[in-house]
Amino acid sequence: MSHRNQTLGEFIIENQSAFKYTSGELSRLINSIRLAAKVVNHEVNKAGLVDIIGTAGDTNIQGEDQQKLDVYANDTFIKTLTKRNIVCGIASEEEDDFISINSQDENHQNKYVVLIDPLDGSSNIDVNVSVGTIFSVYRRVTPVGTPVTIEDFLQKGNQQVAAGYVVYGTSTMLVYTTGHGVNGFTLNPAIGSFYLSHPNMQFPENGRIYSVNEGNYIHFPKGIKDYIKYCQMEEGDRPYTSRYIGSLVSDFHRNMIKGGIYLYPKSSMNAKGKLRLLYECNPMAFLAEQANGKASDGFTRIMDIQPSELHERVPFICGSKNMVEKAEEFMRNA
């Protein structure tokens, strides 16, 4: 079958045998993420309309509703994953602690834990700019039959069995990996199905785009400043350009397609950067590596970092391989 006609549902079934563990649970898990993504997409698309209602009615509603969309996305993903009896635990950027699923999984037979950033780039909602959802899946390390513990969530990124994101953009896309490359699916909103539109996505080895919040420049470490200066310098054949949406999912997505680097370094304001290792950096690192890119904290491979707490932050440099390596070189020599 030509990939142009293949739906995500068909793709999942066809590729199930390629999974390391073939019980079908991981397929069902991806399926439930697909469903939650459609539900959240519907709500995100209404954000502008809610604005109009807000202006006509209650002047305070805009800010409140924007906040609600974070919560809505969080609840939708948690409910969908819980009800389908697939996962034993969920950790979310929006929750203080992890959730142990007992209601549907009384005997704790489920094997997978999911970590999510339900709405990434949430400051972009009220200005009609792309937002996203990021997810990451691990097999539990504690024995089946017992409740999940923090250990099940504090695994290194290199233990991920699946990761991906949804980008609610000009089109809505679901992009994911199970360790066999990265595939992107675009939602046909008329039909409500995702179609394989971007098979085997790859970061170009070199790129021309650097994405960083340059407003924080004076607070960055010397190595990062040097790298940014290197990008700005007009020398020979390296005309770099800057693009920063402020929504990791969207910046990553563009850079994967066009070639580029995303940086959220530590700074004198944020000693460990801003992005969360478990909900943002690890899943994006897994996708990057599966797409021939690279992800690092400037010195160490992101996926080799041992997490010590759920909401841990880490400096993040991710994208086209040669660009990330160049940035690391500047960090080493600073």
- Enumerate binding residues for ligand AHG (CB under 6 A): 93, 117, 120-122, 213, 246-248, 274
Q: Is 279 annotated as a binding residue?
A: no
Q: Which residues bind Mn ion (CB under 5 A)?
A: 93, 117, 119-120
Q: Are strands 131-139 and 162-168 parallel, antiparallel or unpaired?
A: antiparallel
Q: Which does 322 bind (CB under 5 to 8 A by kind): Mn ion, ligand AHG, none?
A: none
Q: Which is nearer to ligand AHG, 125 or 161 (CB)?
A: 125
Nearer to Mn ion, 205 or 312 (CB): 312
Q: What is the 3-state secondary structure (H, E, C) of 73-132?
A: HHHHHHHHHHHCCCEEEEEECCCCCCEECCCCCCCCCCCEEEEEEEEECHHHHHHCCCEE
Question: Rounded to whole angstroms, how far apart are CA atoms 250 and 168?
Answer: 9
CB count within 10 Å of CB 91 equals 24
Q: And the tokens for 48?
A: 């502008």
Nearest one of 287, 305, 280 to 180, comparing CA atoms: 287
Does the annotation flag 258 for ligand binding? no
Residue 321 interacting entry, from Mn ion, ligand AHG, none, C-beta within 5 to 8 Å by type? none
**Of residues 110 and 267, the one with the C-beta less far from ligand AHG:** 267
> If contact means CB under 5 to 8 A according to the sort of partner, which of ligand AHG, Mn ion, none does residue 274 touch?
ligand AHG
Check the annotation: does 226 bind a ligand: no
CA distance 177 to 160: 10
β-bridge partners, 168: 131, 172
Contacts of 128 by beta carbon, 8 Å cutoff, 6+ apart: 47, 48
CA 290 to CA 39: how far, in whole Å? 27
Q: Minimum Å distance from CB 133 to Mn ion?
A: 9
Strands 162-168 and 112-120 come out as unpaired
Choose the contact partner of 38 out of Mn ion, ligand AHG, none; CB within 5 to 8 A by kind: none
CB of 315 to Mn ion, least distance (A): 15
CA distance 82 to 78: 6
For the CB of residue 280, give the shortest distance to Mn ion in the complex, in Å. Answer: 5
Length of the chain: 334
Measured from the CB atom, the residue of 121 and 164 that comes closer to ligand AHG is 121
**Parallel, antiparallel or unpaired: strands 260-264 and 209-211:** parallel
19 or 77: CB nearest ligand AHG? 77
Q: With CB cut-offs between 5 and 8 Å by kind, which of ligand AHG, Mn ion, none does residue 273 bind?
A: none
Closest residue to Mn ion: CB criterion: 120
Per DSSP, 280 falls in state I
Identify which of residues 6 and 124 has a Cβ nearer to ligand AHG in the complex: 124
**310 annotated to bind ligand:** no
Q: Indicate the residue among 98 and 279 with the shorter CB distance to ligand AHG.
A: 279
The reply, when asked if residue 107 is annotated as ligand binding, is no
For the CB of residue 119, give the shortest distance to ligand AHG in the complex, in Å: 6
Partner from ligand AHG, Mn ion, none contacting 247, C-beta within 5 to 8 A by type: ligand AHG
How many of the other CB atoms lie within 10 Å of CB of 306? Answer: 10
What residues form the annotated binding site for Mg(2+)? 93, 117, 119-120, 280
Binding site, residues? 93, 117, 119-123, 213, 244, 262-264, 274, 280
